Amino acid sequence: MRDEIVNLLKKENKISDNTISEIKNIDIDEFSTMVKDLGKEETEYIKESEITKDLKTEYVGKEIYVYKEVKSTNTVAKFLSMHNATNGTVVISEKQTDAKGRSGKSWESPLGGVWLSIILKPNVDQSKFPLITLATGVAVAKTLEKVGVENPEIKWPNDIIINDKKVCGILTEAVAKFNVVENVIIGVGIDANLNVSQFPEELQSGTTTLKEELKREGNENTLIRIFLEEFEKISELFNHEGYEEILKEWRKRSYSIGKIVEVREPFNKYYDGYVVGINKEGALIVEKIDGTYKKVISGECIIKN
**Is position 277 an interface residue for ligand BTN (rule: CB under 6 A)?**
no
Out of 36, 68, 102, 142, the only residue in the binding site for ligand BTN (CB under 6 A) is 102
Considering only 23-31, 184-192, 212-220, 287-295, which stretch makes contact with ligand BTN by CB under 6 A? 184-192
Q: Is position 165 an interface residue for ligand BTN (rule: CB under 6 A)? A: no
Asked if 171 is part of the footprint of ligand BTN (rule: CB under 6 A), the reply reads: yes
145 touches 120 (CB < 8 A): no
- Specify the amino acid at residue 120: L
CB 256 within 8 Å of CB 155? yes
Nearest distance, CB of residue 187 and ligand BTN, angstroms: 3
Residue 39 binds ligand BTN, judged by CB under 6 A = no
Whole-number Å distance between alpha carbons of 17 and 289: 51
DSSP tag of 254: B
The site string for ligand BTN over 203-242 (x = CB under 6 A, - otherwise) reads ----------------------------------------
Residues 66, 98: Cα–Cα separation, whole Å: 17
Q: Is 101 in the site for ligand BTN (CB under 6 A)?
A: yes
Query: Is position 137 an interface residue for ligand BTN (rule: CB under 6 A)?
Result: no
If one asks whether residue 73 binds ligand BTN (CB under 6 A), the answer comes out as yes
- Given a contact cutoff of 8 angstroms between Cβ atoms, the answer to whether 158 and 165 are in contact is no
Kindly provide the residue ranges of all beta strands, DSSP E only, lying in the chain, ordered along the sequence: 64-70, 90-96, 99-100, 106-107, 114-120, 153-155, 159-162, 165-177, 180-190, 260-265, 269-278, 284-288, 293-296, 300-303
State which of residues 31, 35, 65, 74 lies at the interface with ligand BTN (CB under 6 A).
74
Query: Which of 187, 234, 247, 278 is close enough to bind ligand BTN by CB under 6 A?
Result: 187
Residues 230 and 217: their CA atoms lie apart, in Å, by 21
Burial of 257 (0-12, 13-18, 19+ CB in 10 A): middle
Nearer of residues 131 and 171 to ligand BTN, judged by Cβ = 171
Find the residue with minimal CB distance to ligand BTN.
Answer: 169
User: Residues in the site for ligand BTN, rule: CB under 6 A?
Assistant: 72-74, 96, 99-102, 105, 107, 109, 115-117, 159, 169-171, 187-189
